[in-house]
Structures are given as C-alpha cells and as structure tokens.
Chains A and B, each alone.
Chain A
C-alpha cells in the first residue's frame, strides 16, 4: 500500500519538472526576435500574407499566451507542424521514435552486459590484473568519444571486413549492432564501477558469510546472494544513463544514418525548424523523466528498506 502511495507521489512530483522543461525550451527558442513566418515563407513574402499567417498561428499574441496555447496543445498530443516536412511534429516523432528505442534498448543491454561482467570480474579479483583490465576497459569506454568508437567500428567491421551494413536500417536488426556497441560501451563504465564497489561492499555483509558457511562457493555466493542486492544501485544508475544514451544517440544516429529522434533534432537544426526541434527535445526529455520515475519505483520495489520508509 505504502509502495503504491510513494509511486503516486513520485509521479505527481515529476509533473512540475516536465512543465519546467517545456517552459525552458520554449523560452530559449523564442528569445530570438527572428520571425518564424519569414523562415517558412522566405524573405520576400508579401506583408499581408505574413500578417495573416501570424494571426492564424497565434504568433501575434504575447509569448505567454503562445506558451499556454502550446502547452494546452501538448495535452492533446498536438506539438505543432514541422516547417521542413509540412507534417504534424507528433506524427514525425511517432515515425522516428521506434528506431531510437531499438537503438537505446540494445545499447543499454550492451552497457549492462559489459558493465556487470567487468564489475563482477573486477570485484572478485580485486587489485589483481583482471581488476585492472576490467576497470581499464570500462574507463576507456567513458573516455573515448562516441563518434570515435562509431567511426572505428564502421571503418573496420563494416567497410573493411563487410560483416555489417555501413549505414541505414534496410537490413533490419544487424544494422543496429554496431551503433548499439558504440553507444553502449560509453555507458558501461559507470555500471562497471558501481557494480564493483557495491559488490565489494555487499560481500562483506553477514548473510554472505552465512551463505559461505553453508558451503556456497564464492562464485555461487556472488551469483545467488550478492548480485541481487548489488544490482539495486545499478538499476538507478541505468536510469541516469537514459539521458546520456539519448545524447549519444544523436551522434550514433548521425554516423550510421539511422532515422531516429536524434537524427530528427539534427535535421530540425539544419532546417531551422523550431516546432520540430522543440517537440523532439521535449519528447526526449520527457523520456528521461519517465525513465527516472520507473527507476525510482523499481528501486523502492527492489529494496525493502526504502519500501518501508516510503
């Protein structure tokens, strides 16, 4: 019961953050005195056409009225119309979104797999060579720019060895493998570090001693007892990773020509398409907020101590 209550409270507390996000993006993009109509119609548009369009789109009203119109539109799923594609922004996002989701989920799987394996190996062989290699590998992932990993993978495995398609999504699933590795590796580092440190902490606790006394081997104790509790903070850090995964997706989608949300943002910028840019950034940020919310809730479900405190 108390879990349900705390979940509801968390969802409610996310709403002001979301409103703040919309307000900030709106303000940043509308500070400019630039005229959206002129961008749409070209510099030589006739004066009365410009005025008519401004009135139609509500652009002649003060910014807070426009903001209110935009926010109330958001509630009905109306995010305006893209200047470049002449389509509703929400429709474009719905078309591009699945690609980003596939890429991010695969990248998250890579990050989890690499991070947890490196973390567990490092913790079990603490201060030995394997620990150094595991931590080094994950630190390298954090330090290498995503575009470098992506370009090297693209050059070696797609261009030279021809194991993977170079770009696009025509061939289906295989197209996502290289981008997901490039993106996931960059997030693996923090998962690995956290897995290592929490696992080391958990291995000190009494119930691990009990399990060992009952005859569990060290790997057995890790897999059956320690890992489950060590994973709790790791779940939270994965939620924080959603934000950096989406940042990195902008780059990987550009390099591998994947039609996703990141690509949409880059297109919107080069096409000076404010409604599209605004819509896709707000959508991506809403995803991050939702991800954090899910992690918060998972956290309280997984950890009975937090569940009680509610």
Chain B
C-alpha cells in the first residue's frame, strides 16, 4: 500500500480505484486528508473543542456557576471574550463547560443508537422472513414520528436530565441506522465470499462478525458522523424547550433558553451558544461528507 502513496497523484488514484474494496481504512482516510482540507480542518476544530472542554478549569480563570454581580450583562471585552450573563458569569467559560454535555450528547446516544440499530438491522437483514418483517415495520413506525415530538414524549415520561436524554435520543435514532445496516447486510449476504463461507458450514454468528460487520463499517462510520449533529441539534431543541438538561447542569441548548429573555439587551448570552452549536454541526457535516467521499465504495469509482 505504501508504494502507491509515493507515486504521482493520477497514477496512485488510478490504482486506488482499481484495487477498490481491498483498500484499508487507513489508506482511505489518508486519501481524504489529502483531498479534503475542509474535512481535516473540521476534525482539528472538533478535537480542539473537546480538549478545551476537558481542560477548561485550567484554561479559564472564571467560575461557571458563581458570578460577579458587579459585571452583569457586560458585552464582549478583552477580559470576557463573549461577554457576561445575567449573573455576571463569563459566557465563554460557561460555553466550554456546557460543551462537555453538548458534545457528550452528540456522541453517546448516537453510539447507543448505532449499536442497537446495527444489531437489529443486521439480524433483520441476515435472518429475513418474519423477524425482518416485524423489525422493519417497527422501524417504519419509529420513523413516522416527528423526531422532536417523540423525544419530548419520552422525556416527559422519563423526566429531565442528561442520562434520560441519552436514552431518549438513542430510542429515537436507532431506526434509521437499522435500515442502513439491513440493506448493507442484504447486499453483502448475496456476495460470493459469504456464500462460500456458508457452503463450508461457517455459522451465522461467525459470518456476521467476520464478513458482514467489517464490510458494513465504512457506511456506518459515515452514518455515525452524520448522526452526531442531529443528536446535538435535538438535545439543544429539547433543552431550549425546557424538556432536556436541567439546572444546575448546563448545555448549550439550556444556555440559549436561559439567555432568551435577555435577547434584546444582551443578545450575546443566547447567540454565543447558538453559534457554537452551528459551528460544531457544520464541522460534523463537513467531516461526514469528507468521510463519505473517502469511504463510500459507490462514490469511489466516479
């Protein structure tokens, strides 16, 4: 593989398209890094934000909860880059603390819904028959709901809080993953190497683990990066409506909700977290698009 990297672009791309599916993930990712600068910049941005969220107690001199009443509702300045809120707290500091929950809400429920969706989708696609029919009708039903409304109903039953958001968003998200996993499985099931494995008596579980799952992986990675932004947007909408993260915890959506009443005299309080959501969602979308271009075998040949 390393040989192709040292050749000229045209040549290596030609070869790369010839070897098609035998490319390793690493090679595909490196090719994306070379072609798609925006995706790389997005990945760097997300990594930096994550680090900043982890190390904010060291990075920021301000407290996220206790404010200074003498500096209430101050516009952005050198000391407070994004201004202060109604209790005299530094908005940037709160933003970075809020990033912990908002980023976690992007990743954790997406991961749970991926695991759930892949398990059900692969089983439905591989087993077929009645199992497939029932699981897919269930997916149809889940996909019929406007996602925010379903999440609101689940949150109503479970009550607010971060863990319940994880659960609610995972329950809302698995169906679309299951559909993708199912269709990938069905197409892989017909492939010659799976048929060959079957004919020499390899068990169904082993075929799924050794042949189907690894080959679904590229599609699932893309889906994962593209589902993160929708989870972040869902959480922020839920928290914005007051049905999500509860005080004293803070997420970006809740910050927007709290700052909304000061929209006219201190717009930075709610606009800063809104902009943060926008940037993270944009970065995830760019990264997801880049990954799709690099990993999707259907697009590789174009």
Give me the interface of A with B, judged by CB distance under 8 Å: 16-18, 20-21, 24-25, 28-29, 31-32, 139-140, 142-148, 151-152, 154-155, 159, 243-244, 246-248, 250-251, 254, 265-266, 269-270, 277, 281, 284-285, 288-289, 292
> Is B152 close to A, CB under 8 A?
yes
Contact assessment for B144 and A32 in the assembled complex, using a CB-CB cutoff below 8 Å: no
B150-A281 in contact (CB<8A) = yes
- Judge whether A159 and B282 touch: CB under 8 Å: no
Is B93 at the interface (CB under 8 A from chain A)?
no
Q: List 8 A-B contacts (CB under 8 A).
A: A28-B157, A31-B157, A32-B157, A143-B285, A145-B277, A243-B145, A265-B149, A269-B152
The contact of B256 among A142, A147, A250, by CB within 8 Å, is: A147
For residue B264, which residues in chain A have a CB less than 8 angstroms away from its CB? 155, 159
With an 8 A cutoff between CB atoms, is B113 at the interface?
no
**Residue B217 CB within 8 A of the other chain:** no
- CB <8 Å contact, B145 and A285: yes
Cβ B141 vs Cβ A143 within 8 A: no
Query: Given A21-B141, A269-B156: A148 and B149 within 8 A (CB)?
Result: no
- Asked whether A151 lies within 8 Å of B274 as measured between CB atoms, the reply is yes
The stretch that binds A, out of B178-186, B201-209, B229-237, is B229-237
Given A29-B157, A269-B152, residue A243 in contact with residue B278 (CB < 8 A): no
B247-278 to A contact mask, C-beta < 8 Å, 1/0: 00000000010001001100100110011011
Contacts A143-B229, A147-B274, A251-B148 known; 4 new A-B pairs at CB < 8 A: A28-B157, A144-B278, A144-B281, A145-B236
Chain A contact surface mostly: helix
In the bound complex, what is the Cα–Cα distance between A265 and B236 (angstroms)?
17
Query: Among the listed B148, B153, B236, B277, which residue makes an inter-chain contact with A25, where contact means beta carbons less than 8 Å apart?
Result: B153
**B116: min CB distance to chain A, Å:** 16
Decide if B140 is an interface residue (CB 8 Å cutoff).
yes
Does the CB pair A270–B242 fall under 8 Å?
yes
A141 to chain B, nearest CB (A): 11
